[in-house]
Amino acid sequence: MIVIGVDAHKRTHTLLAVDAGTGAGRGQRTIAASDAGVLDALRFAARLDQDRVWAVEDCRHVTARLERVLLGAGERVIRVPPALTGESRKASRVPGKSDPIDATAIALAAIREGLDRLPVAFLDQQAHEIRVLCDYRDQLMGERTRLINRLRWHLVRIAPELEAQLGPAALKGPRIRARLARQLGQLPASPQLRVAKALLRRINEISREQRDLFVELTALLHAHNPQLLEQAGVGTVTAAVIVGRTAGAQRFRSEACFARHAGTAPIPASSGKTIRHRLHRGGDRQLNRAIHIIALGRAKLDPATRAYLRRKQTEGKTKLEAIRCLKRHIARQIWHLLGDTQPPSQPPPTPAPTRVTVTAAPALMPCVR
């Protein structure tokens, strides 16, 4: 078997084939990040070995086109976390950094970690749309916060008494913004006042766009996984983060793999008679944050969850350790919910799926444009 490591960039992708048994290089190719380049990659792989796996660094914003065509052509594709790539490159005997070195590190990291232990590439279009909208909403929230801070500094200069009346999060409310607009309209004209009014208008526009995105995300989530929204402590934004960051529960072999991806699987830290586990600081931190928010909400509002936390503390765990146990339980529940509702379109890891010929591959191209 060979493993083809892929170091992906916006303009080019570098492929390097490695023998899974010996680690020896079997071939190298740099392709353009285009339709013609993907066909070239398929031709390159077809000349090597029928028993092959593509190890792609998990950077889906630049690998989406390549993954779609490879999966459509029946290739087996796994995703390698960038952290593993960095560790593999540090352990390499080859000094320096280049695209071929990185591609080799990706392939060797996949072999070292275990080809069946890494998440397989799984392209869920609905989950991708939810993630795009969720990420855009987060960007809008950050932009609105920056604009609010700038507006408050302008108010300190032109009308400090108005700024003093505003609470820390007052300008997030539409009524407060409407009242401030009326108050600014009564001040004498000046360039700084004009800038303040422009900032306030932009804040209102972003707030309206955020509300529209919230409604759209709610509709998408109801169509994709209504059961998730019915769970205690799960709101629209939290559910959107979970669905978007998971990107298909079927790409994880088990709920334990999903928990490790979410950073909720504890790491053993025992020594002698001391048996304990410590916090896992790896994994997808945005997904971990969403699960943490759910855990805090349930701990506050759900009687069964409060009883569970009390029982864990009675067993000798600290409050934080009990919360970690709860997060592990929530991750297991989420994995089952997502796995039960999404279409089973993941290619089986073994045996290798039937591949299309290189000449038939151009028919796959319209789906990636």
Query: Is the pLDDT score of 93 beyond 70?
Result: no
Give the pLDDT score at 277. Answer: 76
Give the pLDDT score at 356. Answer: 53
Give the pLDDT score at 329. Answer: 94
- Reported as a pLDDT band with limits 50, 70 and 90, residue 360 is low
Q: Can you say whether the dihedral through the CA atoms of 353, 357, 358, 362 is positive or negative?
A: negative
**Average pLDDT estimate for 167-174:** 89
Neighbour tally for 92: CB within 10 Å:
14
Q: Are the CB atoms for 295 and 326 separated by under 8 Å?
A: yes
What are residue 235's phi and psi, to 5 degrees? Answer: -105, -175
Q: Are the CB atoms for 60 and 50 separated by under 8 Å?
A: no
Query: Of 21-25, 331-335, 339-343, where does mean pLDDT reach its minimum?
Result: 339-343
Domain end point (choices 190, 224, 258):
224
Query: Is the pLDDT score of 345 beyond 80?
Result: no
Same domain, yes or no: 92 and 24: yes
Q: What is the dihedral of CA 323, 331, 66, 139, to 10 degrees?
A: -50
Work out the percent of the chain whose per-residue pLDDT is above 70.
Answer: 89
pLDDT tens digit string along 98-137? 888 889 889 998 998 888 888 788 777 888 899 999 999 9
In a domain? residue 253: yes
Same domain, yes or no: 7 and 120: yes
Nearest Cα neighbor of 338 from 219, 213, 216, 240 is: 240
In CATH, what number is assigned to the domain containing residue 96?
A: 3.30.420.10
Q: Rounded to an integer, what distance in angstroms lies between the CA atom of residue 104 and that of residue 17?
A: 8
Domain end point (choices 224, 248, 275):
224
Helix (H, G, I), strand (E, B) or coil at 32: strand
Q: At what angle do helices 99-113 and 82-90 cross, to 10 degrees?
A: 100
Give the pLDDT score at 133. Answer: 95
Same domain, yes or no: 106 and 145: no
In a domain? residue 190: yes
Q: Rounded to an integer, what distance in angstroms lies between the CA atom of residue 109 and that of residue 257?
A: 17
Same domain, yes or no: 248 and 261: yes
Domain end point (choices 178, 195, 224):
224
Neighbour tally for 93: CB within 10 Å:
4
In a domain? residue 346: no
81 cis-preceded (ω within 30 degrees of 0): no
Say how many CA atoms lie within 13 Å of 54 toward its Cβ.
29
In a domain? residue 16: yes
Query: Is the pLDDT score of 51 beyond 80?
Result: yes
Q: Rounded to an integer, what distance in angstroms lies between the CA atom of residue 219 and that of residue 267?
A: 38
Helix ranges restricted to H, 248-317: 255-261, 285-301, 303-314
CB under 8 Å to 214, separation ≥6 — which residues? 137, 236, 237
Same domain, yes or no: 178 and 188: yes
Within its chain, how far is the Cα of 212 from the centroid? Answer: 22
Same domain, yes or no: 146 and 163: yes
Query: Is the pLDDT score of 365 beyond 80?
Result: no
In a domain? residue 353: no
**Average pLDDT estimate for 247-257:** 84
Residues spanned by the domain of 12: 2-124+358-368
What are residue 284's phi and psi, to 5 degrees? Answer: -80, 110
Same domain, yes or no: 116 and 161: no
Same domain, yes or no: 130 and 108: no
Q: Rounded to an integer, what distance in angstroms lies between the CA atom of residue 269 and that of residue 278?
A: 6
Same domain, yes or no: 120 and 59: yes
Same domain, yes or no: 17 and 130: no
Same domain, yes or no: 116 and 17: yes
| Eight-state DSSP code of residue 80 | E
Same domain, yes or no: 314 and 295: yes
In a domain? residue 294: yes
Q: Can you say whether the dihedral through the CA atoms of 313, 263, 245, 366 is positive or negative?
A: negative
pTM: 0.74
In a domain? residue 87: yes
Provide Rg for the chain, Cα atoms: 25
Give the pLDDT score at 357. Answer: 56
- Reported as a pLDDT band with limits 50, 70 and 90, residue 209 is very high
Helix ranges restricted to H, the chain: 35-46, 60-72, 82-90, 99-113, 125-158, 160-164, 174-185, 191-224, 226-229, 236-246, 255-261, 285-301, 303-314, 319-341
In a domain? residue 111: yes
> What are the b/e assignments for 161-186, b being 16+ CB within 10 Å?
ebbeebeeebbbeeeebeebeeebee
Give the pLDDT score at 32. Answer: 92
User: How many structural domains is the chain composed of?
Assistant: 3
Q: Rounded to an integer, what distance in angstroms lies between the CA atom of residue 302 and that of residue 4?
A: 48
Give the pLDDT score at 348. Answer: 35
